[in-house]
Structure 1
Amino acid sequence: MFNEVPYEIISSREECSYMSIFKKISDTVSKGVTTATEKAQQTVEVTRLNAQISGKRKEIDKLFAIIGESVYEGYLSNDLSLAESKVLPRCNEITAIREEIAVLDDRIKAIRNEKDCVCGKRLPEDTRFCPSCGHPFPEPEPEPVVFDKPPVQMDPYVPGDTVAEDRAAGSEEEEARPTAHVDNRQICNSCSTPLYADSHYCPACGQPTR
């Protein structure tokens, strides 16, 4: 006759299983909320920085108007040197404001993890070759890894192991994240990397596409 498993043990196992599933769902939802919150905060910060840039550009437009008016007054007086005392300080102000705009723009690029190419196109930070002009970017030097403690060994997956299940859920979430839209009808002949519709050069190997 088979040994009967006590009801209390079965009930305890079912409860542990339910708790494991609930924990996995809770962690997944928590990660999703955290990611969405971070993106929302980044959007708010970028919007705020763009508003500051827009305001500073309007200040520059006003200074240009003052410069133009001063030069025209000198023209009417047949002595443009009279405008110099008014034009030079305004030019210095414009230079200072442009430097402030550059700092704000660098903050936006850092938030979005982007960089500028020499041709003026803004690209993701990990782009190796500009898809518009083919300009190569130097590969960043890998940072040395210093272990204060021995590296943690990954345990093999065991059914019912909540830690392994959480890791698996994290991997599935990474795979489920949407990727940048690419035109799959164009593939690099050199490295088979999918290309954007307007790519003139492969962003991975720099091979011309046309």
Structure 2
Amino acid sequence: MSLFDKVKQGASEAARRAQLTVETTKLRSKISTREKEIDRISTRIGKAVFEAYTAGDLSQSEEQVLAYCQELAELRVEIEEIEETIKKLKEEKTCVCGKVVGADVNFCPDCGKRFIETPKSEDTTGEIRVICYHCKTENDINSKYCIQCGEELSSV
């Protein structure tokens, strides 16, 4: 592998990691927004229960509290889905014991449990990719034009 190919591969990997960081940050921001909404709904539950308490009939708040609890459950599901998306982006998985490990790990380093192997759809390990400066799409090393936007790929 020539020095130029190694530089291209390094630049491609750096661009991929930068994009991963951007995507992960956006997803974590979504989680933060959902968690703040959970706090607001929890406060509403407390207020509804207290108002019913001061009125002398806690059953008055039951319907309202149940609706709030349903919202909380939906938000928690959304957060779990976002966390799973982050793990997929970062090529990670979670053991039954809670330990987060790389997707290529066969056994948990904490509890020793064996992970069920899932076949990978595409293995690009070791491939050198060129990132289009215009649209940030990965292209084969020998590509002269971007497969996404048609821009000429630099031969610098």
Normalised to the residue count of structure 1, the TM-score between the two structures is 0.53
2:95 aligns with: 117
What is the CA distance between 1:142 and its match in structure 2? 7.8
Please list the CA deviations of residues 30-76 of structure 1 after superposition, one character each: whole Å capped at 9, or x if unmatched.
11111100000001110110011011101001101100111122222
Q: Over aligned residue pairs, what C-alpha RMSD do you find?
A: 1.9
Identify if the C-alpha distance between structure 1 residues 110 and 75 changes in structure 2 by more than 3 Å, giving closer, same or farther: same
**One-letter identity of the residue aligned with 1:86:** Q
Match of 2:68 among 79, 84, 90: 90
What is the CA distance between 1:96 and its match in structure 2? 1.4
What is the CA distance between 1:78 and its match in structure 2? 2.3
What is the CA distance between 1:126 and its match in structure 2? 2.0
Please list the CA deviations of residues 154-186 of structure 1 after superposition, one character each: whole Å capped at 9, or x if unmatched.
xxxxxxxxxxxxxxxxxxxxxxxxxxxxxxxxx
Equivalent-residue separation in structure 2 for 1:97 and 1:86 (angstroms)? 17
2:124 aligns with: none
| Number of residue-to-residue matches in the alignment | 121
Q: Determine if the alignment matches structure 1 residue 67 to structure 2 residue 45.
A: yes
Equivalent-residue separation in structure 2 for 1:97 and 1:26 (angstroms)? 48
Equivalent-residue separation in structure 1 for 2:32 and 2:71 (angstroms)? 16
Structure with bigger gyration radius: 1
Unmatched 5+ stretches in structure 1 = 1-22, 144-210
Equivalent-residue separation in structure 1 for 2:120 and 2:76 (angstroms)? 33
Q: Which moves more between the two structures, 49-58 or 125-134?
A: 125-134
Q: Determine if the alignment matches structure 1 residue 139 to structure 2 residue 147.
A: no
> In percent, how many aligned pairs have the same letter?
41
Equivalent-residue separation in structure 1 for 2:58 and 2:20 (angstroms)? 49
After TM superposition, the structure 1 = structure 2 runs for residues 146-161 of structure 1, keeping only pairs within 5 Å, are: none
1:27 aligns with: 5
Q: Determine if the alignment matches structure 1 residue 44 to structure 2 residue 22.
A: yes
Unmatched 5+ stretches in structure 2 = 122-156
Equivalent-residue separation in structure 1 for 2:2 and 2:119 (angstroms)? 37
Equivalent-residue separation in structure 2 for 1:128 and 1:24 (angstroms)? 34
Show structure 1 runs of 4+ deviating over 4 A.
Answer: none
Please list the CA deviations of residues 93-144 of structure 1 after superposition, one character each: whole Å capped at 9, or x if unmatched.
111111211221111000111111112221111222222222222233588x
Equivalent-residue separation in structure 2 for 1:122 and 1:106 (angstroms)? 11
After TM superposition, the structure 1 = structure 2 runs for residues 197-208 of structure 1, keeping only pairs within 5 Å, are: none
Normalised to the residue count of structure 2, the TM-score between the two structures is 0.71
Equivalent-residue separation in structure 1 for 2:14 and 2:98 (angstroms)? 30
